Amino acid sequence: MKILLVEDEREIGGFVRDGLTGQGFVVDYCENGREGLELASTQSYDALVLDIMLPGRDGLSIVKLLRQRQNNVPIIIITARGEPEERIEGLNLGADDYLAKPFYIDELIARLRSVWRRSAGDGLSVLHLDDLSANLMTREVRRGDRAIDLTPREFALLVYLMRSPGRVLTRTQIFEQVWDYHHNPGTNLVDVYVRKLRNKIAEGDESPLIETLRGVGYRIQSAAK
Ligand code: CA
């Protein structure tokens, strides 16, 4: 895991950097908020550890700017004792967790692992397309607030389509992936399932999302395109 640490108190910064490095983390360390924002915007990190009171730019404004720019890197803010307002503000702005000084390095590492697991889990287990989502762990499918009940085969079909948004998939490809057979029995099974699925994921004036390309196959695509 590669971490960006921004902390202007050298004693604390050095202790955190050494502690994390000793546990196998790769740490970029800087003492200035402006430099921290620059690094966070140009490099790829698994998590940020941000002090709040910093020269150059304060930690809270870094959180705010990164989130405004749709940067979802996990962020832990570290606060001085007796700054409850900053903690709350930090979480409201989109920080994932906070630690109050002084803290044990093991506690920071435990929190880093936990925010990282959470963000990795979210990203891997839920597929999204517009307001349609499919959770691979719970197998829950939603369109906005509406829960959609799918059979296991319909769910497998939806997941296969959602993994390649915008790409045309032929009936043969769909058949091989979703039914796991290697020859097409020559029926219209795929068409029947796609039609059922399309009717379930789009009710009323909702955009159908699944498009038929006559003679070619199907694709799922954002209605915004
Ligand atoms: Ca500070």
Q: Are 9 and 51 in contact (CB under 8 A)?
A: yes
Axis crossing angle, helix 189-201 with helix 152-162, rounded to the nearest 10: 80
Domain 2-120, classified CATH 3.40.50.2300, yes or no: yes
Confidence band for 225, pLDDT divided at 50, 70 and 90:
low
Dist. CA 167 → ligand 1 center (Å): 49
pLDDT score recorded for residue 121: 62
CATH code linked to domain 124-220: 1.10.10.10
Dist. CA 172 → ligand 1 center (Å): 60
**Helix, strand, coil percent content, the chain, rounded in steps of 5:** 45, 20, 35
Lowest mean pLDDT among 29-33, 125-129, 204-208: 125-129
Dist. CA 71 → ligand 1 center (Å): 23
Dist. CA 32 → ligand 1 center (Å): 9
Dist. CA 100 → ligand 1 center (Å): 12
pLDDT score recorded for residue 35: 97
Asked if residue 117 has pLDDT above 80, the reply is: no
Dist. CA 35 → ligand 1 center (Å): 14
Domain map of the chain by residue range? 2-120, 124-220
pLDDT score recorded for residue 120: 65
Averaged confidence pLDDT in the chain? 89
Q: What is the DSSP string of the chain?
A: -EEEEE-S-HHHHHHHHHHHHHTT-EEEEES-HHHHHHHHHHS--SEEEEESS-SSS-HHHHHHHHHHTT----EEEEE-TT-HHHHHHHHHHT--EEEESS--HHHHHHHHHHHHHHHHHHHHHEEEETTEEEETTT--EEETTEEE---HHHHHHHHHHHTSTT--EEHHHHIIIII--SS--SSSHHHHHHHHHHHHH--TTS---EEEETTTEEEE--TT-
